[in-house]
Chain A
């Protein structure tokens, strides 16, 4: 019997420190487009942080984020520094954004007031709030978790479409994402499975596809194989305590 896509043992690609290092090399070689996935991953969470936690308006937040990516990622050394950073990559990104925002606010304040006058109180206040010890931002963390899982789901959907197995993505979504998980009978009716074996295989294969996609997506910012596991644990912790 032919093997269904994703069926059988899930073999995870090996990672080292890792895809970020590869991105840094790509960037050094002039390939800015390689950073697309990284920018896509972090635009939303950074925007959520700036607008919902720091109360920047949306336009200003977008300007800051664009400036940040240009100054710190595309032409800066954020990726290179990631290799020396011991903590989570997203922590580094958020800290770098905070520093960038403080710098931008100072620069703009200086441009308005001229060289001799003191730093305005609002910029000082922002500096104090943003420059303290790196504390996790729940808004940022939840937005990061949503973004990651959205990417995973989209990857699963794409692969199922390519393989002509749209039912597998459907099974995953209606069993695990619906308000009320679809019952066994509903799966049989909706997807036309003829035997319990087919249904079980579909559910297992869908879960295996999801597990593999999750691993691949998290590998973008994991230090090593163990790092992916840590990031999965992070996701569960964030989703457990964050609420929309």
Chain B
């Protein structure tokens, strides 16, 4: 099928150049101003969707786990907001976060994966009194501080990280 050089979708040479350029580099898959949207989206994802591959017994671990309002715990956000989340599930989320941020291959930008990583560790520390990691207090403090200082972090996330830091 012949393509007309006057095709209306080809009128801007800058955009065409961007298209050619985009084949070369995976670093800029997402713009920093999109990290917040990606992070919020990840929190809405059902745990079974992204963690099922990490643990075949995930269904059993979720069984009977409910939010204070009676809803079953279903999503990443549910788990991280739960007043007493099971440590085993938090550990799975931490592992998912570590795998998800691989540059060039990950599900999410490394920055979003790092946020999820430190948030999960922070929830385990603050809500469960449990240390999910062998990272020392100084490194954790730096990590929590980094996460809190991201402009795209929402206030609830920042508050949780502050509480976690206080528990170090």
List chain A positions with a Cβ less than 8 A from chain B: 1, 40, 44-45, 48, 142-143, 145-147, 149-151, 153-154, 172-173, 176-179, 183-185, 188, 194-197, 199-201, 203-204, 207, 210-211, 214, 232, 235-236, 239-240, 242-244
Contact = CB atoms under 8 A, between A and B. Distances in A.
Given A197-B108, A236-B17, 12 more contacts: A44-B4, A146-B5, A150-B4, A153-B3, A176-B15, A176-B18, A196-B112, A201-B107, A203-B29, A207-B26, A211-B23, A244-B11
A24 to B, nearest CB: 23
Interface in B43-98: 45, 49-50, 53
A173 B49 contact: no
A201 B108 CA distance: 10
B146 interface: no
A196 B42 contact: yes
B149 interface: no
Contacts of A203: 29
A194 B14 contact: no
Interface residues of B, number: 38
A194 to B, nearest CB: 7
A154 B7 CA distance: 11
Given A44-B4, A153-B9, A185-B37, A197 B107 contact: yes
B106 interface: yes
Interface in B1-34: 1-5, 7, 9-23, 26, 29-30, 34
B22 A207 contact: yes
B132 interface: no
Interface of B: 1-5, 7, 9-23, 26, 29-30, 34, 37-38, 41-42, 45, 49-50, 53, 100, 106-108, 112
Nearest to A212: B23
B3 A242 contact: no
Given A183-B34, A184-B38, A239 B22 contact: no
Given A145-B16, A195-B50, A200-B108, A150 B22 contact: no
